[in-house]
């Protein structure tokens, strides 16, 4: 997956898209973070704070499963404004001036995954 591309898995609801994706990721042992934004938002519009909290929760769950990569991920994330990294947690600031840019956060995670 060194030269990875963005891949879309499209299909009607309840067609098994997530199952296909998870089967691939597990079978090929691809480290991954999966965000289910439908679960985050429910029946209403997803807000940025909820999305960022979802990312934070997904990162924590990933780190619990794969403790060997914790140090490198923490090194990448602590470069971002508004992300506080300690030995036991990763916190994302919410103040307008302190919160990280979502694009920067996703790009940093992508850089870490590619390293």
Helix (H) or strand (E) holding 40: helix 37-41
Q: 6-15, 21-30, 67-76, 104-113: which has the minimum mean pLDDT?
A: 67-76
Sign of CA dihedral 99, 106, 83, 60: positive
Mean pLDDT of the region 50-79: 79
49: its two tokens: 């704070």
Q: Average of pLDDT values for 37-45?
A: 69
Give 19's pLDDT tier (boundaries 50, 70, 90).
very high
The answer to whether the CB of 79 falls within 8 A of the CB of 108 is yes
pTM summary value: 0.57
pLDDT at res. 39: 73
Domain ranges of the chain: 35-114
- Give the integer Cα–Cα distance in Å for 18 and 9: 8
């Amino acid at each position: 997956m060194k030269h990875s591309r963005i891949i879309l898995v499209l299909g009607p609801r309840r067609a098994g898209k997530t199952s296909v994706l998870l089967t691939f990721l597990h079978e090929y042992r691809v480290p991954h973070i999966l965000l289910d934004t439908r679960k985050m938002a429910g029946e209403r519009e997803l807000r940025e704070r909820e999305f960022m909290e979802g990312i934070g929760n997904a990162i924590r769950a990933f780190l619990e499963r794969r403790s060997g990569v914790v140090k490198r991920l923490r090194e990448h994330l602590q470069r971002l404004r508004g992300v506080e990294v300690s030995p036991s947690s990763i916190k994302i600031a919410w103040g307008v001036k302190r919160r990280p840019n979502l694009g920067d956060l996703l790009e940093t995670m992508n850089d870490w995954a590619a390293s």
